[in-house]
Structure 1
């Protein structure tokens, strides 16, 4: 791989701005992760974490790797990039006939797992996937209230109140909120739908067919164990690393997943995702047009400077970006990049890729 001078300069810019989080979570726990921003007693890790590598990345263009730096084969925690993986698993479920109608209430197929209350029984799979469900309850000891009024960097709306505050619930589908407890409830629902561990499904149905999977792990909280219909005890996994655990994966595998989405869910002639699934993922949520189904959007071209309006993103705390860019036929993976420098790095990469075409 011989990167152009412009691309080499963009990569150097990324490497010069590694996240300030320590490489070892134990070195300075007060600034590693996001759990410490929660009100007590929820401001603690509930699952395993591990040391990370340096600022790293991979760039594919026209399906070919044109640049890689740092430690692209190291399986590192990727935080909320894992949310998008849950959407891919929902696509696998639809492909296998387990989830024929995203508009159907979850309780219709899965009673007695937290969707039976008068408020929750109307919640559909689609609402869980676009984060408009307003699900109410507790998932493995974490109440949904701990993430109410959550404000994340890519949400353009002003903060409405203190995190964890008593925000009044709205009807399902009428209010958008980035809420990790509800995401974990989605993961539990998918586990019950598949009746097999989600890490196993993701590895077998996504990563292995793409030629990846080395070092991949998807861990759950220490107490997040459930019994399946066949009597097996398995872990339900979270959609991120907010309270520890979550997905560890290499940059190259993240790029493989991004390329699958760029190719509309097809790989080497095989449809890993149902026809139209990726288009559905990138359809703006009616009440939050900056978001699709567990991906971030750029429809006005302002949320992610340098990216096209057709671009979409998997994002995770700590500086994780998987940028799928149809306009440049490219996938860009950035790991452990200081969020304050995302825009500058992305503009530099976009310019280099456009000039090198």
Structure 2
């Protein structure tokens, strides 16, 4: 039996320095405080979190767990990858037959129609090269201009939230949560149903997950779909809302990705789509389709080069390692100590 005790001890010794209850010290919780006012506030619900937790699976079997692995906690931008999975479900159902198709061609009237935005394809949105401009539920794309994220090697061109000149869609990579929320809105219109319902039906229930799961939107993020009000959900918890899910369920989703979209012999997401999610973006080779890649070892030098990751603020990581047939989930780990955790796990893999 592989011994992960050193990795677990490292994680437990380095909890993220956020308060566990957002109401207790709101000035030091979350990522919205870095935004220029008046956008530096929560727009949707949040809730207290647990401590450091995690799960490790090898060859489809859980071999280690710590903390509260069944506690449903906010998972921040790990939810971005769930949007990519939903796009894959749409592809399988014939709703999104070609990721190179322009979104405006299929979904006019939802924010992709002007001269700049109508060139944007689904692939641009999935790889974060869309350069979409506008406001999504009252938040302008400029709020996340020049955003600095830890695994982006490119230095910001200006201050966070300082508007910059836009590039042609597909020619510039930027991590931008407003654009992700616009992708989520497009997927909502594509399915014509609430995305949390589709995700539970197509992904969670088939893999035996979903206990305590919820995916919530901003208080004012409602649109009319087929004559009824439906809440659009964000691809993270930057301004509140987002996905609450357990570490064990995150590991089950990671296992689905590791297995190429198959579960119990049934294809839940097309294998070709899962394969494309882990292919490098031409202008940002550290990024796939809403996933982080380790092709050159720059992200985590100790991890295999085939490793890929879902990453969320607050120290939320789901690591898929095909080289060791492993899925590793760790939550609420101080990102400053994430490389140490990965190194301990990699050493245990041998």
TM-score by length of 1: 0.97
TM-superposition CA deviations, 1:208-237 (whole Å, max 9, x none): 000010000000000000000x21111000
Q: Secondary structure at the match of 2:4?
A: helix
Question: What does 1:1-357 align with in structure 2 at a 5 Å threshold?
Answer: 4=2, 6-228=3-225, 230-354=226-350
Gaps in structure 1 of 5+ consecutive residues: none
CA offsets per residue over residues 183-216 of structure 1, 9 Å max, x none? Answer: 0000000000000000000011000000010000
- Secondary structure of 2:26's counterpart equals coil
* TM-score, with structure 2 as normaliser: 0.99
Counterpart CA distance in 2 for 1:175 and 1:110 is: 24
Deviations 1:288-343 (A, max 9, x none): 00000000000101211321111100000000000000011100000000011000
Deviations 1:258-306 (A, max 9, x none): 0000000000100001131111001100010000000000010121132
Unmatched segments (≥5 aa) in structure 2: none
Q: SS where residue 170 of structure 1 aligns?
A: coil
Q: How many residues align?
A: 350
| Cα RMSD, aligned residues only | 0.7
SS in 2 for 1:146: helix
Relative to structure 2, which stretch is displaced further, 249-258 or 273-282? Answer: 273-282
